[in-house]
Amino acid sequence: MSIGDLRDEFQTHVTATNTNFIEVQESIRQFSLDSTEVQHRLLSMSSIVESLRVAHNAGMEQQNTMLVRLDNTNSVLQRIELELQNLSTRVQSPEDAEPRRKRIRSESSPSTEIRLPMITPASVEPAPLPATTSAASVVVPTPPPPAPVPASASTTSTQAPPPFTAPPMPVPAAHSSSRPFQRAPEFGVRIGPIVLTGYRNMNDAAMAVLSILRGRNRLSQHVRGRHAGANSLLMTWRSEAEAVAFFNMWHEEEPAGYGQVSVSLNF
C-alpha cells in the first residue's frame, strides 16, 4: 500500500470520527434539552403538590371547626331535650296539674274527721227559701231521661257509680183552693263524716262543699244545708236534677283528700 492510500484511509477515518463526535455532541445537547424540560415538569409538579398540601390542611382545619360546632350543637340539643322531659313530667304529674287542697288542722286532738274549706261569710249568699204554691197549681219538675242502669240510693266515694236518675214523680191531682199552702219538696244529698264547726250556719257549710268541686260553676248555687247528724251535712236543692247533678259530679271528680267521705242521695 502506498503512502497516498494510507493518507486517504486515515483521512477517511478522521472524517468518520468527526462525524461520530458531532453526532455524540448532538445527542448530548438533546439530552440536556430533555433534562431541562424534565426539570421544568418536576418544578411544576412540585408546585401542584404544594398547592394540594395547603388545600388539604385548610380542609382539615375546617373539618375540625365543624366538629367543634357539632359537639356544641349536640350539647345544646341534649339540654333542650332534658328540659322538655322535665316539663312533660310536670305537666303529666297530678300533683302539679291540680293544686293540693290544704286541710284545716283542729286545735283539739287529731281525728279521722275531714274538714271543709273555710269561706268568708261575706262571700256566701244564703239560698232563697223555696217558693210556696197553692195545692191547686203544684209545679212538678220535669225529670231527666232515665239512665240505662239505675243506681242504688246510697253510694260511697270509693267507687264511682253510674249517673243516677230517679224515676219521674207522679203529678198530684188538683185539689180545692181551700186547702192550706204546702212547701215544695226538697231533694237532698247526705255527706259525711266532715267537720261542721267554724261556719256561721249550715248554708255556709253547704257552699264550702260546693267549692271543693272543680266544675262547681256548672252546678246550681241555690243550695241549703242543715245538720244530718253529729258530723254529717244534708244539702238540699229545689229540684231533683240539681241534686243529682251534684251527686254525679262528686263521684266523677273524686276530690283528693275526701276518699273517706260518703256521699249519698237522700230522696
Domains of the chain by residue range: 3-95, 104-128+152-165+182-267
What mean pLDDT is predicted for residues 234-241? 94
Of how many residues is the chain composed? 267
Tell me which H or E stretch contains 180.
none
Print burial letters for 178-212: b (CB count within 10 Å at least 16), e (below 16): eeeeeeeebbbbbbbbbbbeebeebbbbbbbbbeb
At residue 60, φ and ψ (nearest 5 deg) are -65, -40
Predicted pLDDT at 93: 56
What CA–CA distance (Å, rounded) separates 79 from 65?
Answer: 22
Task: Give the model's confidence band at 226: pLDDT under 50 very low, under 70 low, under 90 confident, else very high.
Answer: very high
Predicted pLDDT at 183: 66
Helices marked H in 93-152 — which ranges? 94-97
What mean pLDDT is predicted for residues 159-177? 47
Residue 80 per-residue DSSP state: H
155: number of Cβ within 10 Å: 19
**pLDDT at position 247 over 70:** yes
Residue 148 per-residue DSSP state: S
4-18, 68-82, 168-182: lowest mean pLDDT where?
168-182
Place of cell 356544641: 72
**pLDDT at position 8 over 70:** yes
Predicted pLDDT at 101: 46
Task: Give the model's confidence band at 115: pLDDT under 50 very low, under 70 low, under 90 confident, else very high.
Answer: low
The model's pTM is 0.36
Predicted pLDDT at 11: 84
**Tens-place pLDDT, residues 141-165:** 434 333 222 233 333 344 444 455 5
What mean pLDDT is predicted for residues 92-110? 47
- Tell me which residue of 139, 133, 130 sits closest to 172, measured CA to CA: 139
Predicted pLDDT at 266: 84
**pLDDT at position 116 over 80:** no
User: Could you tell me the maximum CA-CA distance found in the chain, to the nearest angstrom?
Assistant: 191
Task: Give the model's confidence band at 182: pLDDT under 50 very low, under 70 low, under 90 confident, else very high.
Answer: low
> What single letter denotes the amino acid at residue 139?
V
- Tell me which residue of 18, 16, 15, 37 sits closest to 26, measured CA to CA: 18
**pLDDT at position 189 over 90:** yes
Average pLDDT for the chain: 74
Cross-strand partners of 68: none
What CA–CA distance (Å, rounded) separates 73 from 71?
Answer: 5
Residue 233 to residues 19, 39, 208: CA-CA distances in angstroms? Answer: 142, 113, 11
